[in-house]
Amino acid sequence: MAPPDVDSETDVKFGYTRAIAYGAVVLATAVALTFIPALPDNRPAEILFSQAAEPVGKMQFDTLDAGESLARVLRRGGLSDSAAVRAIQASSGVINERRIPAGMPITVKSEAPDSAPSEVVLQLAEDRIVRLRRNGTEWTGAEEKLPWTIDTIAVAGTIESNLTNAIAVVTDTLLPKVARQQLTNEVAEDVYGYKIDMTRELQKGDEFRVLAERARGPNGAVRITSVIASTFSLSGSVLKAVKFESKAGGSYFDDEGKSMKAMFSKYPVQFRRISSTFGSRKHPILGYTRAHKGTDYAADEGTPVRSIGDGVVVSAGWSNGYGRLIAIRHMNGYVTRYGHLSAIMPGIEPGARVKMEQTIGRVGHTGLATGPHLHFEVLVNGEQRDSRTAFGRASGLPIAKSEVDSFAHLRDQLLAKLSGIGHNTATTLASSAARQH
């Protein structure tokens, strides 16, 4: 018997060794795959759906990232390159792809889990979508406006510290934070902005009642569209307001049919706090006590300064310690002054006519001022008066005589609803059919 071939024996031993090594690698790999966590799935979220006897379909939810093309999102949703091009072409008459905002939700729908997408929905806004549909290989696109549901809410509250907190307490479960702030602004600025200084006149125990129109969007957004009627019990007196679109102008009227919008607005700046009041004070720069003949409103440099009423510019320019100053003459012997301005708007010069709430300058700290603020003065027949009390609560013009009956009917109806609201409560009174908003 011939001796074994040395090379063949070596090959056999090596084969056994290699087999054992391979087996060890396979086993190690299996163990590693068992214990290594899976990589995250970066696909868009998707759900399966079915309607009655229809086959199961699929919807994928995605968003457009910053700097990302619409075509890329559509391909991620399952559209082929050619289908994505056709879908975008179908939307070109409705939207501008280059102006689509980042973060826009996009839904891709397929009639079956393994079929090509047949519909794409671009959510441009809460109530605005673009729907793209496929028919064969062709795509069509159309914009759709989604309806809002409109109802009326009734709110009654008591002042403990300020209006914002009082409204928040009673509407916490009825309105989201943004809508609560909208309601506060409507009451404070639009309804009573000419009647009540909400920063100084409110006292603990004052009560209010409000009827407001609320709009709820198709995706859950909530807005306050307007205040319909309101009453405010202020230090024993009750101020009533009803929304009424008069031919003579104006939106809110008191119970006698006189406009809530007076001859003068309450404030010359929108974002403000009073940093120094009318009266004697120690001057922050000169260092001695002297009369302060105006009201100082602290505000950021550059904040718009508005004329509080219609009038004619008397002077506009530099005036010693006032810095840049504008003086405006109004009806009935009133003159207002706006000092320490950083800028005077173009066209604001002696003889120019201005309207109520027209921007005339910008807050600054020119002249004798330690920081940015508006020094505001009111003169009545040449005498300086406290701006917070100089105008009182005089009402504006009444509604036209031809509208008296229709106003009275609406007033009685709304005020009756207000009187039926309990203390410190908020509720929904009525709903109307969904409509475009």
Structural domain spans, the chain? 1-34, 45-145, 149-262+397-431, 273-385
CATH of 45-145, one of 3.10.450.350, 3.60.15.10, 3.40.1080.10, 3.30.360.10: 3.10.450.350
Assign domain 273-385 to a CATH class. Answer: mainly beta
Give the residue ranges of DSSP H helices in 70-120.
70-76, 81-91
Between helix 163-171 and helix 177-185 the angle, nearest 10°, is: 140
Same topology, domains 45-145 and 149-262+397-431? Answer is: yes
Sheet architecture: strand order including 252-253: 252-253, 237-243, 222-234, 207-216, 149-158, 425-431
- pTM score of the predicted model: 0.57
Tokens 């404030």 locate to 267
According to DSSP, residue 44 is labeled P
Q: How far is CA 359 from CA 166, 201, 265, in A?
A: 32, 26, 13
Instruction: In whole angstroms, give the CA distance from residue 182 to residue 225.
Output: 8
Per-residue pLDDT of the chain (437 residues; tens, 9 = 90+): 444 444 444 443 444 444 444 444 334 433 333 333 333 344 566 565 555 555 568 889 999 888 888 999 999 999 999 999 999 998 887 787 777 888 889 999 998 888 899 999 998 888 889 999 999 999 999 999 988 899 999 999 999 999 999 999 999 999 999 999 999 999 998 999 878 878 778 999 999 999 999 999 887 889 999 999 999 998 778 999 999 988 766 689 999 998 888 778 778 987 555 544 434 444 454 444 445 578 898 888 999 999 998 899 999 999 988 999 999 998 878 999 999 999 999 999 999 999 988 999 999 999 988 889 999 999 988 888 887 777 765 566 788 889 999 999 999 999 999 999 999 999 998 655 555 55
149-262+397-431 adopts what CATH topology? Nuclear Transport Factor 2; Chain: A, (3.10.450)
Write out the two tokens for 68. 């990302």
CB 413 within 8 A of CB 135: no
Residue 312 makes CB contacts below 8 A (sequence gap 6+) with 328, 329, 351, 352, 353, 354
CB 376 within 8 A of CB 340: no
Write out the two tokens for 281. 């004070």
User: What length is written for the chain?
Assistant: 437
The amino acid occupying position 241 is A
